[in-house]
A = this chain, B = another copy of it.
Amino acid sequence: MAFTSNAFSPSLSCNLNTKINSSTLKPSPHGFFQAPSKISVRGLSSVELNRARVAVSRLSRLRICATAAELMEAKAPTIVDVDLGNRSYPIYIGSGLLERPELLQRHVHGKRVLVVTNNTVGPIYLDKVVDSLTRGNPNVSVENVILPDGEKYKDMDTLMKVFDKAIESRLDRRCTFVALGGGVIGDMCGYAAASFLRGVNFIQIPTTVMAQVDSSVGGKTGINHRLGKNLIGAFYQPQCVLIDTDTLNTLPDRELASGLAEVIKYGLIRDAEFFEWQEKSMEKLMARDPDAVAYAIKRSCENKAEVVSLDEKESGLRATLNLGHTFGHAIETGLGYGQWLHGEAVAAGMVMAVDMSYRLGWIDSSIVKRVHGILERAKLPTAPPETMTVDMFKSVMAVDKKVADGLLRLILLKGPLGDCVFTGDYDRKALDDTLRAFCKS
Name A residues whose Cβ lies closer than 8 Å to a Cβ of B: 110-112, 156, 160, 163-164, 167-168, 170, 172-174, 191, 194-199, 220-222, 225, 227-228, 230-235, 313, 398-399, 401-406
Q: If A111-B406, A195-B232 touch, does A167 touch B401 (CB 8 Å cutoff)? A: no
Contact residues in B for A225 (Cβ distance below 8 Å)? 163-164, 167
B167, B399, B403: the one contacting A399 at CB < 8 Å is B167
Residue of B nearest to A401 (CB): B197
Q: If A167-B225, A225-B163 touch, does A232 touch B403 (CB 8 Å cutoff)? A: no
In the complex, are the beta carbons of A232 and B163 less than 8 A apart?
yes
In the complex, are the beta carbons of A231 and B163 less than 8 A apart?
yes
A406 to B112, CA, bound (A): 10
A323 to nearest B CB, angstroms? Answer: 19
In the complex, are the beta carbons of B198 and A220 less than 8 A apart?
yes
A2 to nearest B CB, angstroms? Answer: 41
In the complex, are the beta carbons of B198 and A403 less than 8 A apart?
no
In the complex, are the beta carbons of B234 and A198 less than 8 A apart?
yes
Secondary structure at the A interface, as helix, strand, loop or mixed, is: mixed
A419 to nearest B CB, angstroms? Answer: 25
A170 to B227, CA, bound (A): 10
Contact residues in B for A112 (Cβ distance below 8 Å)? 405
In the complex, are the beta carbons of A199 and B168 less than 8 A apart?
no
A394 to nearest B CB, angstroms? Answer: 12
Contact residues in B for A403 (Cβ distance below 8 Å)? 170, 172-173
Contact residues in B for A163 (Cβ distance below 8 Å)? 225, 231-232
B111, B167, B401, B402: the one contacting A231 at CB < 8 Å is B167
Which of A194, A232, A403 counts the most chain B CB atoms within 10 A? A232
A173-B403, A199-B234 given; name 10 further pairs at CB < 8 Å.
Answer: A110-B405, A163-B225, A167-B225, A172-B406, A195-B195, A196-B231, A196-B232, A198-B220, A198-B221, A198-B313
A116 to nearest B CB, angstroms? Answer: 15
Residue of B nearest to A191 (CB): B195
A308 to B4, CA, bound (A): 60
A338 to nearest B CB, angstroms? Answer: 20
Contact residues in B for A174 (Cβ distance below 8 Å)? 404-405
A160 to B198, CA, bound (A): 18
Which of A170, A172, A230 counts the most chain B CB atoms within 10 A? A172
Contact residues in B for A196 (Cβ distance below 8 Å)? 231-232
In the complex, are the beta carbons of A227 and B197 less than 8 A apart?
no
In the complex, are the beta carbons of B199 and A235 less than 8 A apart?
yes
A408 to nearest B CB, angstroms? Answer: 9
A439 to nearest B CB, angstroms? Answer: 22
In the complex, are the beta carbons of B167 and A227 less than 8 A apart?
yes
A156 to B157, CA, bound (A): 9
Q: If A156-B156, A199-B234 touch, does A399 touch B170 (CB 8 Å cutoff)? A: yes
In the complex, are the beta carbons of A401 and B234 less than 8 A apart?
no
